[in-house]
Chain A
């Protein structure tokens, strides 16, 4: 019984006033607009006639003057206008049209010169008033902005008069035409059924305020009161009626509304009231059909299939009727009422299916008539009503939470599919379709996503990754469909500002996003990076083969995320498989992937040079990603102790690769690795916690590392040094010296750690000599300076530390060793002066 009251209230108090209100406002607005339009048009027409006649008179006098001054010319017939233009320009001094085409020149010469126009007349404005209807109607008559044909001479005055006379009396064609009629020019005439009879427009110019009130508004007010009374009657009578009688009342009421609308349409050719009544009639009829199964008090159809069939029948009736009227507003109103009718019923499978059927019907109509606004607003309406009903109404007791979610998601999926298909068909029909159509795709995506995320938590046990998987599957399928079926706007790669506007590419990008979420949710933490890397790699590869910019960027983004993911989930982990740690198993493939991407991106054009927006600028980043991952892998896999030699070996490799490929990124990375390696060595005192005694020795770690640094020094000495025209190039030029200095420091520190205080001076002195000799041999000035610096350091040490701290024998040893070293150096400089100078050349 409660539903009955709501039905009657909705029907009588909400629907009818709404129809009336919409209609009243619309009709007043329409009336005002039409009146204004016709008044403006009449004024323009009168002004135009006066202006054109004046122009003709002036033209006539100008023609006479030209005839008097123009010298006879044999080609006068082929060049009849130039002298006239020159004369007008020189004599009148007014601005003249200087069109580039001959026709325009002719028109300027013969038709209204600036002198002929009153100052207040705007040529372009006046041209627009005539030209629009003329073009729409396909009329071949000439407007004043059209070219006047060759041979149209001032002598043809009578013809001209007839021409302007005809223009003045030509029936006006309304510029406000329905979308469907405007669209006919694109399709053949047989494509759409034409409306049977279009009665002539009412003579609005004779309507005054009194007739508006008495003849129109009073009429509608009466209808409004009638509807109110009818609603009250229905409300009263429903208390004592059975289900069949209630349904019959609803059906009769609906049919009456429909018949009333059809009658009004037949009588006056259709206006908003008739359209509104027809739309309301259909909505009520739909509501009645819905009530036959969906409302308990009026349930006469037990079978859901039968109930649904009835709804489909009514929806089909709406569609068929809408085909006849081609009014986007009327159909939109009908659907609003139909959707509103669903709010009176409790949420059930039946009500949701009904909503989806209506949405499909609406989309069919909008597709057929190419009503983009209806499709877009219908999308919001459909998803919005579905969500509102789900959250406003109590859950149906007949359905459990899982079933409810499943059928809701199924319905949402059907809706989503329908909108995707309609959007695709729009795009297929017209690739340069309106923006509103192209926005159907993102709107559908967001609406579907939001609706799904809001309904999904109804069942907390169901993981969200199911939804991600569902979305991924949907968008992969729809992406393939778009690629196969639609002309793909994504191929217009120059559209750099485009953001998923319905291409196959966009669809796959969305699917990839959902896939990444599903991977994160499903896979164990260390394996997520593998999943993301594979996804990103596939996207990038697809996007390389097809010039898909967005997908390429998203692929790069996913790969970059995978890189950062390594730091939070793959470094500090335990666990092994087959004796290999999970860290190695997950990070090493990612390193190789980064290297692959480096070489892949490096062969591409740059962003500026490529029409598709190349991503070559990302290439160096990938090489650094690979090196950073390799470095941290060494650190965590070998521990801090073994990191220095590992990084030093990597530095040699990178320096070698840099030299082989003449790649400065690799060379710089070699330097960075070497410096980090030496840093680790110094921080750890060259110690290592390995159980292997050889590896555990600081001598091993230090010597291997320093040897690698000197190897890098040797390799870098063979490089062609860049011009020091930038900071980076300047740093590149000091790279060999950096290796050399780092090696010397490392060696000196190794002695400091391993040789006890008394013998350190001796050790450093010997090292200084060695470095000096090596510096001469290798012609490396920094190496020589390192050696000398170390000897000087020994002098300082001897006096500041050894003399005070060491015991007497060691102190003596230190002094003697240092003295001997210095003498040896001095002797060497003196004895081999010539050779040294030769070496230094």
Chain B
């Protein structure tokens, strides 16, 4: 092709592309989050051999999980707690188990716990120990929303996010055990901090991955794909989302702001809520067609899972 023809084609592509984007109200987002994601990918790939070499067996992982869960027992529901709490915990356990159909690590035994606290949160420990705060159950508006959150925490276990943060520490303790004896925890602690710094680059990626696969678990179980996006949006509004920065005065100032924010975001455990909502929305929008998904608002109120009581009115079509 003659240069003049390729020039014309390229110019047309550029101009047409620009015009089309201008019509679609493009997002004014400038920053190094994309670059940081690529850096995280590189870190993840580079650490893969180390993670595989220090990988622990499912039995070891579950043992560690049980040990750690024992420390968390301060707020767990006990036999003396009210019937309501017990019902909620049972509800959470049933719902959690219903989401395990598409997990990849079948050898892990998942356990779901309720913590009697008003905090709106949930977390996972290695070996399938999932903890949900009562405040979160009160905060969600449907069973589908709670399912997406539980799916998120299940993914942290299934994708080894939880155990990987302990692997380096455990390996260091094993290796240093013969040398340091009872003081091997020192090596473990040093390795813990080192691994946190190294893994900090892709911790946000793990959150995105947990969102995505958690939603998949929920959808595979028949729950509404838009529930995850809605609950995340409400969480962001209730607990402070990040405001968009003002436009910089010039390109150099813009770059400075981007570099500053990138350096600060490296050690953030969770990505900005706006980005999470956006990604969840994009993923949910892939579910089109006539298939109906379950919402389960009434199920949540009655603390009865869909498997216990399926209400026909709770089905809704995908967007």
Contacts and interface: CB of A to CB of B under 8 A. Distances in A.
Q: Which 5 A-B pairs have the closest CB atoms?
A: A577-B24, A571-B34, A530-B18, A572-B34, A589-B13
A494 interface: no
Interface stretch (A7-15, A676-684, A825-833): A676-684
Contact of B13 (A572, A592, A632): A592
B317 interface: no
Interface in A635-654: 635-636, 639-640
Interface stretch (B25-33, B172-180, B295-303): B25-33
Nearest to B20: A577
Interface string A180-223: 00000000000000000000000000000000000000000000
A599 B20 contact: no
Given A572-B37, A586-B18, A537 B7 contact: yes
Contact of B18 (A531, A575, A679, A680): A531
A609 interface: no
Contact of A569 (B9, B30, B37, B219): B30
A636 to B, nearest CB: 7
Contacts of A636: 34, 37
Interface string B1-40: 0010011011101111110111111111111111101100
Contacts of B24: 575-578, 582
Interface string B238-250: 0000000000011
A568 B213 contact: no
Nearest to A631: B38
23 contacts: A517-B250, A524-B22, A530-B14, A530-B15, A534-B15, A572-B31, A574-B29, A576-B24, A577-B21, A578-B24, A580-B20, A588-B13, A588-B17, A589-B16, A593-B14, A596-B10, A599-B3, A600-B3, A600-B7, A640-B205, A640-B209, A689-B283, A691-B216
Please report whether the interface of chain B is mostly helix, strand, loop or mixed according to DSSP.
helix
A256 interface: no
B30 A575 contact: no
Interface string B203-245: 0010001001100100100000000000000000000000000
Interface of A: 464, 517, 520, 523-527, 530-531, 533-534, 537, 541, 567-569, 571-578, 580, 582, 585-586, 588-590, 592-593, 596, 599-600, 603, 632, 635-636, 639-640, 679-680, 682-683, 687, 689, 691, 805
B48 A682 contact: yes
B287 interface: yes
B214 to A, nearest CB: 10
Contacts of A571: 34-35, 37
B310 interface: no
A57 to B, nearest CB: 79
Nearest to B213: A689
B79 interface: no
A576 B32 CA distance: 21
Contacts of B104: 687
A588 B12 CA distance: 12
B312 interface: no
Given A567-B35, A682-B48, A572 B29 contact: yes
Contacts of B11: 534, 537
A596 B38 contact: no
Nearest to B32: A568
B97 to A, nearest CB: 22
A586 B21 contact: yes
A689 B214 CA distance: 10
B260 interface: no
Contact of B286 (A523, A592, A691): A691
B264 interface: no
Interface in B252-304: 254-255, 258, 275, 278, 281-283, 286-287
A590 B283 CA distance: 27
Contacts of A593: 10, 13-14
Contacts of A527: 18, 21-22, 26
A682 B45 contact: yes
Contact of A573 (B3, B22, B27, B287): B27
Given A527-B21, A567-B35, A588-B17, A683 B27 contact: no
A636 B35 CA distance: 11
Contact of A578 (B20, B30, B275): B20
B220 to A, nearest CB: 10
A533 B6 CA distance: 15
B86 interface: no
B70 interface: no
Interface centre among A517, A589, A592, A599 (most CB of B within 10 A): A589
B21 A526 contact: yes
A175 to B, nearest CB: 54
